[in-house]
Amino acid sequence: MKFTCLSKGGGSNFPPCYILDFGGFRVLFDCPIDFSALTIFSPVPTDFDDIINEETSDCAAHKSSDAETVAQKRRKLEKPLDVNDLICAEPWYKTVNNLHLWNVSFIDIVLISSPVGMLGLPFLTQIKGFSAKMYVTEAAARIGQLMMEDLVSMHMEYRQFYGLEESTAPEWMKWEELELLPSALRNIALGKDGAEIGGWMPLYSAAHVKDCMSKVQTLKYAEETCYNGTLIIKAISSGLEIGACNWIINSPKGNISYISGSIFFSGHAMDFNYHALQGCDLILYSDFSSLDSTEDIDQSSLSNESSNWEELSKSLSNCEESSKEMEKLDFICSCAIDSVKAGGSVLIPVNRVGVILQLLEQIVMFLESSSLKIPIYIVSSIAEELLAYTNVIPEWLCKQRLEKLFSGEPLFAHIDLIKEKKIHVFPAVHSPKLIINWQEPCIVFSPHWSLRLGPTVHLLRRWRGDHNSLLVLENEVDADLALLPFTPMSMKVLQCSFLSGIKPQKIEPLLKILQPKLVLFPEDLRSHVRFSNINSSSVSYYTENETIHLPRLKESSELEISSDLASQFRWRILKQKNMNITRLKGELLINHGKHQLLSGNDQADPSENKPLLHWGSPDPENLLAELSKMGINGFVERSMTDAGSEEAFTVHVQNPEKALIEVRTEGTIISAPDENLASRIFEAIENILEGI
Amino acid sequence: MAIECLVLGAGQEIGKSCAVVTINGKRIMFDCGMHMGYDDHRRYPDFSLISKSRDFDNAIDCIIITHFHLDHVGALPFFTEVCGYRGPIYMTYPTKALAPLMLEDYRKVMVERRGEEEQFTSDNISECMKKVIAVDLKQTVQVDKDLQIRAYYAGHVLGAAMVYAKVGDSAMVYTGDYNMTPDRHLGAAQIDRLQLDLLITESTYATTVRDSKYAREREFLKAVHQCVAAGGKVLIPTFALGRAQELCILLDDYWERMNLRVPIYFSAGLTIQANMYYKMLISWTSQKVKETYATHNAFDFKNVRNFDRSLIDAPGPCVLFATPGMISGGFSLEVFKRWAPSEMNLITLPGYCVAGTIGHKLMSGKPTKIVLDKDNQVDVRCQIHQLSFSPHTDAKGIMDLVKFLSPQHVILVHGEKPKMASLKKKIHSELGITCYDPANNESVYIPSTNYVKAGASDAFMQSCMNPNFKFLKRGSEEIPNASIQRCTKALSPLQVSDERVVEGILIMEKSKKAKVVHQDELLLKLGAKRHEVQFAYCCPVSVEKLEKTATTDLTPATNVSSVTDKCILIKKLFTKLSSEFSVGDFRNLGEYIRLESFQASICSKDSCPYRITNSFQNKSKAVFFCCTWSGPDEKLAWKIISTLENAI
């Protein structure tokens, strides 16, 4: 059993990625895209001002001699980053580089734990020889597919601008070009040691997405699926996002659970179901969210030595973080209200579906309470379908939302808000309906959070000079770099991080409740969490790109023996060892993660139930005594030929007929003239040997 | 341990479905329904049979409700709120959402129409529903350490489920009501191939085989269309849920296609609200309906509006859905009184109406007058259309499911006695599965499956996986017509089989888990060495006779010492043995011949210690074959030896 962390990711939009070798199968956890790297590209230059800018500044430089250009570009290294440093080309997308070091055709299973965790899947399914079975929850698959389709359609804008690219590596990927990049961009493109250039991929097409989705197997929460008869795989809700999950793999060799970023109390998705993870032998802890946590860890609360189950679960059910999360949303809303009151507009390019849905409800409430009639626009090619979808999936939502189903109300308020024309949904910035309806100030939700793709780019260009307008950014982007193409920015920027995992103070009580034998824990988090005493579990720490060999989880495989076979057992008692043994013969059935031994077709003939295996050493006196009990007499001749082995001897049988018994340490040879005598002698020898 | 199935309802009848099954010590109640045909104590299952002391919390581990129809859920509030059961109750999400509507609807009708004393209150219903745990399809729910349940799509109504329950190594399925063919708004039942000890299945149509539903749906649409085209009014009395939505999908779709403008009304309160549930639960409908949710939710009926009492006598055609079904009172009765006297109008009735209702009276014969009470009667001149599609599986569907699941035992419920008996016979004779059709309050006992658990060592598992090839030569006499065989190339003369041998040793030690090991490991564990017991016999064979029987060219074997001669002799012996022993696969390995553990080689020693027999005199013309074998092949070895000696 081996385990490798391919990438520790970065935030909830770029989850970690692992490979696990278990029971002869290779499992890949998640296949995301690192969109934060997209910021090294320049957004599509549609704005007239930009083109003018480029012509005046950059083109002037280009007109000078080649040598000079290089020199000038070199000089840029020292200067702070400039708009023109960004790569002007159709962007490629950065995937988990270390994954490309593995032969993906040897991956057997892919487990996806959130919608963003599957965005890189079409890259894999394009590869010839890739044949792994991919499991995704139904809701994550639907939302993930919509995100991929949206990505492809947003990317089209680049393709239309730059034209079709030749299949070879683009200009910007050439070493001489990369060398010239400012160090900040070069680090993103190449990684620290320059190896990460291999992770860049040209975007997949809509056909690739379709093909990929047709190969994905979707699951419900807690639906058991069986891989190859031996592994039972289950997705358990993690609370992070609609459809997001943790995984349980059961096998006769042990049980493993994979804990991704999990949220105990969600305002939208079904809560983190940690009870289902109880009793696993191994926990792969992959929630890196506490790394970004800015809160001071209260050491005193950590050091509580309680191992009382009730107290532990009480400490987990403390829902402080969810109320903090609501406060955060309220704060964003109040900032938005301030902006629109001042006549500015608000742009919210947030990626998390659950956060958007909650924000929509909150903002409408805030607008109503301050009796403002400000339109809310959602501009995205997939918004209509996504919003319709979120209202038909009560099975995937948290308890409060579910209660709405049972009382016959819509799951999310947006369905009614759209009908009441408080929210308007448009597929793109250039859609005719938008142009007719557009009013400013307004509040706009649109992709993409990297500020390089989608309607966001156009709206940001429109409002960047308005100091009353507000941009709400996720914390996962490097704001300076992301906003570089939009400088000078007069717009206000509100950068916020949303809850994306287990709080550090809850990790220890959680592991205490789950009681695994072994925990694999990120080395990076070692300083954030102190394990005072997790009952009997042992903790191993892992780092990125290091393979850890794990001990086997169970001493032996589980085997189930059918009762009709068990009823045929003939027990032999070994007195000296105080054990009962029996020979076992049947048919092995490997079915649904279980090894079962059934009685075979050839029913054992009871007369055939003779020992096949003997051990012990016959003693001449005992043998003679046994023989004489059966009316067989003879004499012993100590063998002289076998020097050193004192146990060797020969019995010459005289009565009833002549026969020979040769006894050596390793075996006995019976030679008798007829069957009857031979078998009687055999019986006598069996009586003084042990056998089965 | 055994499985006990106590049928409290729907035994040889339809109504008050309730089966209490005990598997390996766990007791599960499947459905908790009421009988619509009775007003007395027979309306509910006899719960006292579960526990005399009425301590239901300890007697039952969980209740599972398959769908929201009253004959499956009707007694639940009574059982939880009046009888006091407080344990877990499981339903699918749609059932949990829709069951309280059905129960409330029924409660109102009972109280309003019959002025009956309430069996349970509105509060009882909502308190009861709070205890319900909603489950998704295919989700494996761990009720407790040993009991596992799982719901599968049953297709009968929105949210209907077949339920799989497993305790230890025993497992069963309770189907509830199901439909094996998809219809306009629901898919067909779907279930995994499971290893089952018991299948409890409904048998409403135990002997009927039906054709497609589409023809009958067309009939219904035609009747409605003709009526409204002639300016008539159509009354469709239904219950709030299920049938109303199904018919409405049909009509709404038809209206779109035919571009009809005639209004479709829902009587106040009932169904518009119910549609809200259907819209959110669209993922539980058929594939076709499901796929369209983003652009247009099929339950967002375009042509449907709310009905107002003043519209009853308004001129012009219309279609009206009104509760309750079967015209047992309430609004549908009010409208019936006004519309029935006109021959332009149409009333559609469901396939089944409880005796005593107006619906039942209309269906039995063609009455021209319906007497409501002493003073009131209604002239019936309108047309009556009976809906003949029903969301139950037919006999073929039941047989298909039983065959697919191949359980050890089948119990039939929810059907009519004589038809069930004939289906029972059919299942037994055609599928060879024992089948029962117990009456109410009867118990059926069947054995359960149990496995003995043991740990297995790697070496044992490895040895199980090792290929074990066997090569069997097919004799030419087995091929009846050689020329045909040659043409088809179907059978090659050599057959290879790979029957893996699973052999090991089970060890039980005090206070340790049973463990299965490979036999080599046992010795290692015991610290003992193997002591092989073998037999040896140096067998004289007359050369002349051997040569006579052998078909190869005759070479006098005067000198047996040379290797080539040995080989020739071995070959001769091989030919002889192969021809005389049809069973077994002799192998000629040059120096010796082998069959299982039996080995024979030429003995060139002058005095072999194993040459015990004195029977053979003519030593000069004999060749000695030294034979060895071990215990299990004793019989076979002596048979070979006697063959060899007889050759003398």
pLDDT digits (tens, 9 = 90+) for A378-436: 999 999 999 999 999 999 999 999 999 998 899 999 999 999 999 999 999 999 999 99
pLDDT of residue A301: 46
Number of Cβ within 10 Å of residue B622's Cβ equals 17
Half-sphere exposure of A575 (CA within 13 A, CB side): 2
Which residues lie closer than 8 Å to A619 by C-beta, 6 or more apart? Answer: A688
Q: Do B523 and A613 touch (CB under 8 A)?
A: yes
Count H helices and E strands in chain A, helices first: 21, 32
pLDDT of residue A604: 53
Question: Which two three-digit tokens encode residue B277?
Answer: 């549930």
Q: Is the confidence at residue A608, as pLDDT, over 80?
A: no
Q: Do B451 and A569 touch (CB under 8 A)?
A: no
Q: Do B536 and A223 touch (CB under 8 A)?
A: no
Q: pLDDT band for position B581 (50/70/90)? A: confident
Of A392, A584, A675, the CB nearest to B283: A392
Convert the pLDDT of each residue in A376-390 to its tens digit. Answer: 999 999 999 999 999
Convert the pLDDT of each residue in A609-629 to its tens digit. Answer: 667 788 887 888 888 888 888
Nearest residue of A to residue B1, measured between CA atoms: A563
Residues of B in contact with A581 (CB under 8 A): 505-508, 522
Of A558, A660, A675, the CB nearest to B609: A660
Convert the pLDDT of each residue in B109-145 to its tens digit. Answer: 777 766 667 778 899 999 999 999 999 999 999 999 9
Chain A: give the shortest CA distance to residue B383, in Å: 36
pLDDT of residue A236: 96
Residues of A in contact with B96 (CB under 8 A): 406
Q: Do A588 and B464 touch (CB under 8 A)?
A: yes
Please check whether residue A8 is in contact with residue A522, taking contact to mean a CB–CB distance below 8 angstroms: yes
Q: Do B297 and A234 touch (CB under 8 A)?
A: no
Q: Do A405 and B93 touch (CB under 8 A)?
A: yes
Q: Is the confidence at residue B579, as pLDDT, over 60?
A: yes
Say how far apart CA A374 and CA A423 lie, in whole Å.
10
Which residues lie closer than 8 Å to A590 by C-beta, 6 or more apart? Answer: A229, A230, A596
Chain B: give the shortest CA distance to residue A46, in Å: 32
Instruction: Flag the least confident range among A39-43, A668-672, B633-637.
Output: B633-637
User: What percentage of residues in chain A have a pLDDT greater than 90?
Assistant: 48
Say how far apart CA A347 and CA A493 lie, in whole Å.
10
Nearest residue of B to residue A139, measured between CA atoms: B283
Local structure of B49: helix, strand or coil: helix
Q: pLDDT band for position B174 (50/70/90)? A: very high
Residues of B in contact with A384 (CB under 8 A): 294
pLDDT of residue A151: 96
Model pTM?
0.86
Q: pLDDT band for position B559 (50/70/90)? A: very low
Of A405, A406, A670, the CB nearest to B535: A670
pLDDT of residue B216: 80
Residues of B in contact with A427 (CB under 8 A): none
Nearest residue of B to residue A390, measured between CA atoms: B280
Count H helices and E strands in chain B, helices first: 19, 32
Please check whether residue B504 is in contact with residue B490, taking contact to mean a CB–CB distance below 8 angstroms: no
Of B515, B538, B635, the CB nearest to A556: B515
Number of Cβ within 10 Å of residue B517's Cβ equals 25
Q: Is the confidence at residue A51, as pLDDT, over 70?
A: no
Nearest residue of B to residue A558, measured between CA atoms: B455
pLDDT of residue B460: 87
Q: Which segment, A70-79, B52-61, B299-308, is predicted with the most confidence on average?
A: B52-61
Q: Is the confidence at residue A54, as pLDDT, over 60?
A: no
Say how far apart CA A635 and CA A652 lie, in whole Å.
5
Nearest residue of A to residue B530, measured between CA atoms: A615
Say how far apart CA B290 and CA B280 lie, in whole Å.
11
pLDDT of residue B618: 54
Sign, CA torsion A170/A171/A176/A182? negative
Q: How many angstroms separate the Cα of B74 from the Cα of each of B133, B214, B247, B326, B391?
A: 17, 31, 24, 17, 19
Say how far apart CA B316 and CA A419 lie, in whole Å.
31
Question: Which two three-digit tokens encode residue A631?
Answer: 């009316």
Of A384, A556, A666, the CB nearest to B457: A556
Which is the catalytic residue, given B81, B112, B118, B202? B202
Nearest residue of B to residue A671, measured between CA atoms: B536
Tell me phi and psi for residue B124, to 5 degrees: -55, -45
What are residue B600's DSSP bridge partners? B593, B627
Maximum separation of any 2 CA atoms in chain B, in Å: 126
Q: Is the confidence at residue B547, as pLDDT, over 70?
A: no
| Sheet containing strand B304-306, strands side by side | B304-306, B264-266, B318-322, B233-237, B346-349, B383-386
Q: Do B610 and A223 touch (CB under 8 A)?
A: no
Question: Which two three-digit tokens encode residue A441?
Answer: 């100030």
Convert the pLDDT of each residue in A81-130 to its tens digit. Answer: 778 888 888 899 999 988 888 899 999 999 999 999 999 999 999 999 99
What are residue A596's DSSP bridge partners? A560, A589
Chain B: give the shortest CA distance to residue A689, in Å: 8
Instruction: Flag the least confident range among A288-302, A329-343, B31-45.
Output: A288-302
What are residue A471's DSSP bridge partners? A347, A493
Among A547, A482, A592, A474, smallest CA distance to A227 is for A592
Among B302, B280, B303, smallest CA distance to B293 is for B280
Residues of A in contact with B452 (CB under 8 A): 560-563, 566
Mean pLDDT of B446-474: 82
Q: Do A582 and B506 touch (CB under 8 A)?
A: yes
Question: Which two three-digit tokens encode residue A458?
Answer: 């156009």
Mean pLDDT of B202-228: 86
Say how far apart CA A390 and CA A115 lie, in whole Å.
14
Number of Cβ within 10 Å of residue A86's Cβ equals 20
Say how far apart CA B325 and CA A245 lie, in whole Å.
44
Question: What is the ipTM metric for this complex?
Answer: 0.86
Say how far apart CA A249 and CA A113 lie, in whole Å.
13
Q: Is the confidence at residue A320, as pLDDT, over 90?
A: no
Nearest residue of B to residue A573, measured between CA atoms: B508
Q: Do B456 and A559 touch (CB under 8 A)?
A: yes
Q: Is the confidence at residue A603, as pLDDT, over 70?
A: no
Say how far apart CA A213 and CA B376 lie, in whole Å.
65
Say how far apart CA A277 and CA A12 lie, in whole Å.
21
* Averaged pLDDT score across all residues of chain A: 85
Say how far apart CA A68 and CA A70 lie, in whole Å.
5
Angle CA B337–B343–B347, to nearest 5? 55
Mean pLDDT of B375-394: 84
Residues of A in contact with B631 (CB under 8 A): 610-612, 682
Of A588, A659, A665, the CB nearest to B502: A588
Q: Do A597 and B502 touch (CB under 8 A)?
A: yes
Where does residue B520 rank: exposed (0-12), middle (13-18), buried (19+ CB within 10 A)?
A: middle
Q: Do A581 and B632 touch (CB under 8 A)?
A: no
Can B202 be counted among the known catalytic residues?
yes
Say how far apart CA B48 and CA B56 lie, in whole Å.
9
Residues of B in contact with A668 (CB under 8 A): 531-534
pLDDT of residue A643: 53
Residues of B in contact with A142 (CB under 8 A): none
Q: Comparing A449 with B599, which gets the higher pLDDT?
A: A449
Chain B: give the shortest CA distance to residue A189, in Å: 39
Q: Do A220 and B504 touch (CB under 8 A)?
A: no
Q: Is the confidence at residue B556, as pLDDT, over 60?
A: no
Instruction: Flag the least confident range among A140-149, B151-160, B432-441, B483-492.
Output: B483-492
pLDDT of residue B435: 96
Mean pLDDT of A149-171: 84
* H helices present in A216-352, as ranges: 299-302, 309-316, 320-341
Of B137, B534, B638, the CB nearest to A675: B638
pLDDT of residue A300: 44
Angle CA A283–A288–A289, to nearest 5? 125
Question: Assign residue B84 a region: left if phi > 0, alpha if psi is -120 to 50, beta otherwise?
Answer: left
pLDDT of residue A81: 77
Of B452, B461, B503, the CB nearest to A563: B452
Maximum separation of any 2 CA atoms in chain A, in Å: 122
User: What percentage of residues in chain A have a pLDDT greater than 70?
Assistant: 88
Q: Do B505 and A583 touch (CB under 8 A)?
A: yes
Q: How many angstroms separate the Cα of B66 from the Cα of each of A349, B165, B192, B203, B539?
A: 44, 13, 17, 15, 76
* Averaged pLDDT score across all residues of chain B: 83
pLDDT of residue B115: 66
A interface test, pick of B193, B241, B452 with most A CB neighbours within 10 Å: B452
Q: What b/e sequence results for A595-615 when a residue is b if at least 16 CB atoms lie within 10 Å of its CB, and e otherwise?
A: bbbbbeeeeeeeeeeebebbb
Q: How many angstroms separate the Cα of A645 from the Cα of each of A639, A663, B524, B531, B587?
A: 9, 11, 22, 15, 35
Tell me phi and psi for residue B131, to 5 degrees: -80, -5
Q: pLDDT band for position B333 (50/70/90)? A: confident
